[in-house]
Amino acid sequence: MYRQSRKGYIEEQIEKIGLILTLILTGRNADPQKGGVEEIKKSCKELTGIDISLLLALPADRLPTLFEGALGYDGGRSLAAGVLLDERAQLFELQNLMASAVAAWPKALLLLMEALIAEEGFRTPEYRARVDTILEKLGANGVTPRILERLETYRKVVG
């Protein structure tokens, strides 16, 4: 029963994130500079229970602790937060706010890797490609020792 409900949770989370990405893209198409920001704020609060501004303000290394609970790591909330942080970083990049984008990407990367490590169902080509894209954008200078440590685990578990 637990396995079936877990699978349902994973599928539901992937579907919700897909719908939200559609809303963000629609907003971005309407206004390339600012479109999608409100959708990201609202969706982050809805899917994670955490305000995106808090995720942006906290150090990357502290973020995974927000998704730990009595039942273990909540990969679904972590995945949602990672995707939304990445989307916010992309908007920062479009607005030429590179310092903000570069500050957000390590946070997105860490949360995405943690989610994929925790939940096999989230290891889709789309989310794996998102991790690879963020790694490319950050380069060697944007990767902290904590991220390198988790990247090693990610490579072993996810491939």
* Predicted pLDDT at 90: 94
* Predicted pLDDT at 119: 93
pTM of the model: 0.88
For 102-135, the pLDDT digits (tens) are 999 999 999 999 999 999 999 999 999 999 999 9
Long-range Cβ contact pairs of 49-58 (< 8 A, separation 24 or more): 49/77, 50/81, 52/84, 52/85, 52/88, 55/81, 55/84, 55/85, 55/107, 56/85, 56/88, 56/100, 56/103, 56/104, 56/107, 58/107
